[in-house]
Structure 1
Amino acid sequence: MRLEGKVAVVTGAAAGIGAATAALFVKEGARVVVADNNLEQAEKVARGLGENALAVGVDVTVASQIKRLIAATVAEFGGLDILVNNAGYGIRGSVVNTDEEDWDKVIDVNLKSVYLCSKYGIPEIEKRGGGAVVNISSTAAVCGIPDRAAYVAAKGGVASLTRSMALDHADKNIRINSIAPGVIWSNYYEKMLKEVPDPDAFVHGLKARAPVNRMGTPQEIATMVLFLACDESSFATGGMFTVDGGYTAR
């Protein structure tokens, strides 16, 4: 029970990495707020986790809603120890053919959300004597990806922001790290399978990106989130931990 007595907020927790993280946290003794813009799905996840989980519908790009999220967490569970900034969103496009509105949305969901959740979450973590923030970045933070300009920029920003945040709050016993997942099987890819002309070739191409010749699972990323959130990683802060099956080692 590595998180016994801890309270965590996980954004983008209605599916994928967020849902897997919420489930693992509860298993390890934490009380968890399942935060997502899809309240119906968030409630479904929370129900499956029992009395130690609370669903909150939230748009992570709106400050007033983040304030409400943090307030609901403190009201329900008494404080906040761990913040996992997992909410993310991506689109296709180079800088030339990405509309400004789409650019802003990608930056807001992936990067501004980290700023807002941390702005209002970190003071509550400080009240508890310290804790951890884990930001989900991407291998896109270190490797360019064609036709993904906004997403690459946003995830690169998450990695850089993490380092700055770690320095700002180290003296408060708040450790802040990021994770760079590789290709992780998710609802996003399930939807894409319905759109591509050759699903088998599409899946083969995804697997081939990693030397281990497979995609990762949300549970594998959740395990790294748990490590960075618990006391076992007490000397780790300001780092970006890559979990990508060897993709960036090439």
Structure 2
Amino acid sequence: MTDTLQDFAGLKALVTGGAGGIGRATADLLAARGADVAVLDLDISAVDKPLRGYVADVADDIAVRAAVAAAVADLGGLDVVVNNAGIGAQGTVADNDDAEWHRVLDINVLGMVRVTRAALPALRASDHAAIVNTCSIAATAGLPQRALYSASKGAVYSLTLAMAADHIREGVRVNCVNPGTADTPWIGRLLDRADDPAAERAALEARQPTGRLVSATEVAGAVAYLASPLSGATTGTSLAVDGGMQGLRLRPVGQ
């Protein structure tokens, strides 16, 4: 991947969940635009140069602290954190037990807390500090069969605003991206489990005004925009990358 824009030249970035999907697309784009990028994930076997791989589970505070410390030492500092690691969940409030609620919230919300907490000392020393959290359309639109997932992403949205308020005077900007249904490995696994994968994919595509799923590369572009020093006046913002799903109300086709 190549990119003529080099707005991240000399900057150091950490991307969680960066071995695949949106995280990998983001890590690759930041590297192409000049950043030295560390990837934190459960499995880094697919992470190759110029990316640096570090193993950690964001649900494990000790592992997170060790991985972030190692990445900061190897990078020689830290300017950008992309809190992307997360998991999905399906069902209404009646369908997920307490253990599943704790597991999803622990990864999707507290995972961001752990990584950010470990990274803040290095970010405070940066002249271009930025945090971008991967949120979701599920935080701002009511989606069926997504109660637990939506609750976790609603928390991420509120957390982003609170973090932005807390750290702006320390020179740390905090924003989030709100993807619509993205064509990622997780969605692929959901489709594989459906009774009619083709029909399920068509239904997911149809609910987005563009008529297609969002690509990981498109989300990565939004993350890069928010993280870039060129966006130094942008903080406490959520950027929708959802094919118009949140804001548009189109008539049915043919009407």
TM-score (norm 1): 0.94
Write the mapping of 1:129-144 to structure 2, written as runs, cut at 5 A.
129-144=127-142
1:3 aligns with 2:8: yes
Equivalent residue number for residue 237 of structure 1: 235
The amino acid of 1:247's aligned partner reads M
Match of 1:248, SS?
A: coil
Cα distance, 1:197 vs. partner? 2.2
1:205 and 2:190 are equivalent in the alignment:
no
Does 2:43 align with 1:44? no
Deviations 1:152-208 (A, max 9, x none): 111000000100110111111111001100011011122223222222211111110
Higher helix share: 1
1:188 counterpart residue number: 186
Q: Is residue 222 of structure 1 aligned with residue 220 of structure 2?
A: yes
Identity of aligned residues (%): 37
Q: How do 1:37-76 and structure 2 match up within 5 A? A: 37=42, 39=43, 42-45=44-47, 47=48, 50=49, 52-76=50-74
- Match for 2:28 among 8, 23, 26? 23
Q: Secondary structure at the match of 1:34?
A: strand
Residue 206 of structure 1 aligns with an amino acid whose one-letter code is L
TM-score by length of 2: 0.92
Indicate conservation of the 8 Å contact 2:128/2:229, yes or no.
Answer: no
Structure 2: where are the runs of 5+ without partners? 1-5, 250-255
Cα shift at 1:2: 1.0
- Deviations for 1:72-91, whole angstroms, at most 9, x for unmatched residues? 11221111110000011111
Q: Is the 8 A contact 2:132 2:177 kept in 1?
A: yes
1:96 paired residue number = 94
Q: Structure 1: which 5+ residue stretches go unaligned?
A: none
Quote the RMSD (CA, aligned, Å): 1.1
Give the C-alpha shift of residue 94 in structure 1.
2.1
Distance 1:55 1:108 in 2: 23
Moved more, 116-125 or 186-195: 186-195
The letter of the residue matching 1:198 is: D
Preserved contact between residue 211 and residue 247 of structure 1 (Cα < 8 Å): yes
CA distance in 2, matches of 1:200, 1:55: 35
Distance in 1 (CA, whole Å) between partners of 2:161 and 2:132 is 11
In structure 1, what residue type is equivalent to 2:27? A
Q: Which of 35, 41, 44 matches 2:40? A: 35
* Aligned counterparts of 1:88 and 1:150: Cα–Cα separation in 2: 13
In 2, Cα distance between equivalents of 1:171 and 1:28? 27
Q: How many residues align?
A: 243
Letter in 1 for 2:78: L
What SS class does the counterpart of residue 9 from structure 2 fall into?
coil
